[in-house]
RNA sequence: GCGGAGUUAGUCCAGCCCGGCACGACGUCAGCUUCCCAAGCUGAAGGCCGCGGGUUCAAAUCCCGCACUCCGCACCA
């Protein structure tokens, strides 16, 4: 199904919708999750926790969204997370000046160059506005971080542009108090904020968005010395080599040098196994090694995990080898010590990160799982049962003859343990169709036979088939059918 | 931010040229019917026609500004 159809589902069924939509001054790039969206997101997050935090014995933290200025001085975001721009004095058009200079003069200027450097080239080469031939004002930087003023003095702080900075900042305490041992992953889920010039496409480019980030702290001398590597050595990953997607095992990838080392191969393996369990079509995914110009300013090697959607290839996870960039710069700025002991040798850990976009991942799962079943005239969201916003519908075949009461009795028994949805109203087929659209994998229906022998029918979303089970078996039936893998 | 196209009920949309009580479908709710897959019948709710201003006796409709959405450019998880 395409973007528009997902959008319609999202609006109609309470997955997500624009923030502040009743007011005209609502800003672009902010969206809310509705009831279905939250339930779905929570389950996705739980799967992430199972497949990374618990599986790899990571530490999970929950840091502040507002962080002090020094953090971003150290991280480089204050200087580096900004685009150099110029404004045309006549027509007010805005240009990325480094790109414009390259376009017009073929001179390559790094975007991190001094602002005066840009001004110099503009005047020397007599660069004018390509739209109206007007003059440019002085180059300045547009920083993508949201600035906030703290307290009555309005002390400068920022909304974090990535969640991982708290992980770096907290690392010394965490490593000491939690008895850390390299390599160790520290994970965090939370919101990040970027003042995008042009947010677009609902969940795909937001100004306020969820990230699930994992920072793996490791000894740079032991990147190929990883006991747990055997867990994924035969896991197949899909990686772009010379513009074609090659399917190879993690072991082959690291042995052949396609991936730099076992540590990176291990985590790309975990990531692949995770996304297989989310129900996205893994055959439409790939890891792509980024060129030097595409990489973030802190990355020395970077692989994007990308998935094909109807909007094109979409980056879901950035896998960056950040080396000692962050710990070194926080050491210099804070004077805190970040070295740790690894088998009695003092080492400044390197960092490999998996930076996952949750909102984008949720969109992709929806798109890859929503299908039109023309034969039965219905739209079905075939989510994995453990990710479904509603686990089970609880329906009375008809309302009268005491069936409604019996249905409510069953509903009360399971509502604390499962996301169950009670529904008496309208034709039974209509109610099944509604459940299909929110992805509920199962429906329990109470009919006249229930009153005689205490059995109910269970209706399966994907096959539409039914079976009859005892009321006393409902709990174990649900438990085994919606369990995480 | 630029260029293009749009914005009318939960959703999809007609009406706009040519100003005069806002149309329809789907969905929702209640009742009847039905007794396992969007059936039928009856009834109901739901709209400051994106926001603000202007023209006019009168604006969804004409004019101006802004916001938002979508598509392209650029940027990004």
> What pLDDT sits at residue A277?
97
> What pLDDT sits at residue A40?
96
Element (H, E) at A265: helix A262-278
Element (H, E) at A86: strand A82-87
Q: In this model, does residue A247 exceed pLDDT 90?
A: yes
Confidence of residue A94 (pLDDT cuts 50, 70, 90): low
> What pLDDT sits at residue A24?
76
- A205 CB and strand B closer than 7 A: yes
Domain boundaries, chain A: 3-75+150-221+265-367, 82-143, 390-481
Closest alpha carbon to C1' of B11, residue: A12
> What pLDDT sits at residue A299?
82
> What pLDDT sits at residue A283?
94
Which A residues 383-422 have CB within 7 Å of strand B?
Answer: 397-401
> What pLDDT sits at residue A20?
84
Q: Which of A36-45, A141-150, A382-391 has the lowest mean pLDDT?
A: A141-150
Confidence of residue A91 (pLDDT cuts 50, 70, 90): low
Q: Give how far the C-alpha of residue A232 lies from the chain's centroid of Cα atoms, to the nearest Å.
A: 22
Q: Report how far residue A485's alpha carbon sits from residue A479's, in angstroms, rounded to the nearest whole number.
A: 12
* pLDDT (mean) for A246-271: 95
> What pLDDT sits at residue A93?
61
- A3 CB and strand B closer than 7 A: yes
- A92 CB and strand B closer than 7 A: yes
Confidence of residue A274 (pLDDT cuts 50, 70, 90): very high
Task: For Cα atoms A91, A95, A101, give the angle at the middle one, nearest 5 degrees.
Answer: 120
Q: Report how far residue A372's alpha carbon sits from residue A159's, in angstroms, rounded to the nearest whole number.
A: 41
Judge if A3-75+150-221+265-367 and A82-143 fold alike in CATH terms.
no
Percentage of chain A exceeding pLDDT 70: 93
Q: Report how far residue A360's alpha carbon sits from residue A356's, in angstroms, rounded to the nearest whole number.
A: 9
Q: Which CATH architecture has domain A82-143?
A: 2-Layer Sandwich (3.30)
CA separation (Å) from A413 to A406, A409, A451, A471, A481? 11, 7, 17, 10, 17
Superfamily of A3-75+150-221+265-367 according to CATH: Bira Bifunctional Protein; Domain 2 (3.30.930.10)
Q: What confidence tens digit (pLDDT) does each residue in A47-90 have?
A: 999 999 999 999 999 999 999 999 998 998 887 777 777 776 65
- Helix ranges (H only) for A294-338 are 325-334
As ranges, strand B nucleotides with an atom below 7 A of a protein CB are 1-2, 10-12, 27-31, 33-39, 50-52, 66-77
Percentage of chain A exceeding pLDDT 90: 64
Confidence of residue A106 (pLDDT cuts 50, 70, 90): low
Q: Report how far residue A237's alpha carbon sits from residue A294's, in angstroms, rounded to the nearest whole number.
A: 22
- A316 CB and strand B closer than 7 A: yes
Confidence of residue A465 (pLDDT cuts 50, 70, 90): very high
- A25 CB and strand B closer than 7 A: yes
A453-485 burial, b at 16+ Cβ within 10 Å, e below that, comes to eebbbbbebeeeeeeeeebeebeebbeeebeee
CATH number of A390-481: 3.40.50.800
> What pLDDT sits at residue A388?
96
Q: What confidence tens digit (pLDDT) does each residue in A110-166 have?
A: 666 667 777 777 777 777 766 556 677 777 777 888 888 888 888 999 999 999 999
* pLDDT (mean) for A164-170: 94
* pLDDT (mean) for A249-275: 95
């Amino acid at each position: 199904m395409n973007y528009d159809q997902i959008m319609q589902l999202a609006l109609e069924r309470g997955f997500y919708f624009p923030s502040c939509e009743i007011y005209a001054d609502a800003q672009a790039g902010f969206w809310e999750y509705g009831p279905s969206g939250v339930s779905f997101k929570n389950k996705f997050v739980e799967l992430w926790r199972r497949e990374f935090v618990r599986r790899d014995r990571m530490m999970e933290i929950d840091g502040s969204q507002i962080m002090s200025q020094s953090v971003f001085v150290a991280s480089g975001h204050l200087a580096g997370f900004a685009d150099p721009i110029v404004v045309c004095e006549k027509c007010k058009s805005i240009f990325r000046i480094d790109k414009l200079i390259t376009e017009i003069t073929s001179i390559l200027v790094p975007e991190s160059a001094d602002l005066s450097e840009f001004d110099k080239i503009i005047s020397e080469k007599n660069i004018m506005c390509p739209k109206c031939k007007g003059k440019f004002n002085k180059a300045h930087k547009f920083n993508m971080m949201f600035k906030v003023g703290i307290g009555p003095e309005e002390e400068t702080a920022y909304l974090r542009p990535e969640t991982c900075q708290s992980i770096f900042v907290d690392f010394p305490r965490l490593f000491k108090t939690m008895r850390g041992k390299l390599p160790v992953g520290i994970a965090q889920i939370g919101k990040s904020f970027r003042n995008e010039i042009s947010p677009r496409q609902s969940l795909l480019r937001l100004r306020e968005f969820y990230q699930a980030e994992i920072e793996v702290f490791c000894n740079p001398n032991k990147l190929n010395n990883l006991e747990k590597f055997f867990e994924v050595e035969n896991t197949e990953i899909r990686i772009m080599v010379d513009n074609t997607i090659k399917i190879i095992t993690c072991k082959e990838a690291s042995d052949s040098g396609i991936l730099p080392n076992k540590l990176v191969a291990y985590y790309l393996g975990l990531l692949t196994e995770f996304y297989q369990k989310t129900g996205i079509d893994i055959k439409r995914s790939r890891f792509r090694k980024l060129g030097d110009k595409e990489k973030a300013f802190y990355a020395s090697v970077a692989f994007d995990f990308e998935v094909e959607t109807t909007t094109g290839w979409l980056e879901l996870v950035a896998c960056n080898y950040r080396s000692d960039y962050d710990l070194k710069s926080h050491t210099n700025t804070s004077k805190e010590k970040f070295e740790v002991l690894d088998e009695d040798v003092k080492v400044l850990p390197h960092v490999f990160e998996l930076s996952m976009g949750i909102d984008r991942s949720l969109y992709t799962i929806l798109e890859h799982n929503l299908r039109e079943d023309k034969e039965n005239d219905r739209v079905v969201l075939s989510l994995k049962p453990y990710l479904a916003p509603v686990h089970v519908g609880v329906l009375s075949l008809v309302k009268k003859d005491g069936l409604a009461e019996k249905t409510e009795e069953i509903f009360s028994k399971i509502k604390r343990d499962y996301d169950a949805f009670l529904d008496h109203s309208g034709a039974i087929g209509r109610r099944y169709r509604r459940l299909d659209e929110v992805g509920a994998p199962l429906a329990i229906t109470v009919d006249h036979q229930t009153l005689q022998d205490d059995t109910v029918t269970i209706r399966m979303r994907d096959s539409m088939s039914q079976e009859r089970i005892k009321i006393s078996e409902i709990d174990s039936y649900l438990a085994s059918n919606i369990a995480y893998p």
